[in-house]
């Protein structure tokens, strides 16, 4: 699974890139989406590499993301009571998602994106205009995306 976080805003974004943001449900800054690791999604993320940070997410970070920042319709938080009512065990559900047996749509009412806070201690020293390989915050960052997500929760 791949997590992508929108780092930069809408200023100066071309129409085709804005359409790609809408397809990925990344409407505003600090929105995070979790998608499958397929060729189509990789192409979309590579197209937006100057505006987002993305990488492989692990199960622990994914569970933390759903527990802390998962929202239902009406901006209600996902609670254990709600999950028990729908007969969903979150730990086993996360394993099934990572094994491609289920998706986030299988939790009824769950929004398909996560709104995050700005990261604690800010972004990397290079800022939000440089790629991660040059010390910035943008682009592909392998499994280091987990550290960024934990700072933004």
Per-residue pLDDT tens over the stretch 43-99: 999 999 999 999 999 999 999 999 999 999 888 998 889 989 989 888 898 899 988
Q: How high is the mean pLDDT of the chain?
A: 92
Angle between helices 90-98 and 59-69 (to 10 degrees): 130
Considering the domain delimited by 2-58+114-152, tell me its CATH architecture. 2-Layer Sandwich (3.30)
The per-residue pLDDT for 12 is 87
The per-residue pLDDT for 150 is 94
Per-residue pLDDT tens over the stretch 131-146: 998 888 999 999 999 9
Percentage of residues in the chain having pLDDT higher than 70: 100
Among 105, 103, 111, 106, CA closest to 28? 111
User: 2 is written with which tokens?
Assistant: 């791949």
Higher pLDDT, 40 or 11: 40
The per-residue pLDDT for 100 is 86
Percentage of residues in the chain having pLDDT higher than 90: 64
The per-residue pLDDT for 121 is 87
Q: Where are the domains of the chain?
A: 2-58+114-152, 60-106
Contact 8, 127 (CB under 8 A): no
The per-residue pLDDT for 10 is 86
Once rounded to an integer, what is the mean pLDDT over residues 109-126?
Answer: 89
Q: What pTM was estimated for this model as a whole?
A: 0.91
Q: Which residue reads 């569970």 in tokens?
A: 63
């Amino acid at each position: 699974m791949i997590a992508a976080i929108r780092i930069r805003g809408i200023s100066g974004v071309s129409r085709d890139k804005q359409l790609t943001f809408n397809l990925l449900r990344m409407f505003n800054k600090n929105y995070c989406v979790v998608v499958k690791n397929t060729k189509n999604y990789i192409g979309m993320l590579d197209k937006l590499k100057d505006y987002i940070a993305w990488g492989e997410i692990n199960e622990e970070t994914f569970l933390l993301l759903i527990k802390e920042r998962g929202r239902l319709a009406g901006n209600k938080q996902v609670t254990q009571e709600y999950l028990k009512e729908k007969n969903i065990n979150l730990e086993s559900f996360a394993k099934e998602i990572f094994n491609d047996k289920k998706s986030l749509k299988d939790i009824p009412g769950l929004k398909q994106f996560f709104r995050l806070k700005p990261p604690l201690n800010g972004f990397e020293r290079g800022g939000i205009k440089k790629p991660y390989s040059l010390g910035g915050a943008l682009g592909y960052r392998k499994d280091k995306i987990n550290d960024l997500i934990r700072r933004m929760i």
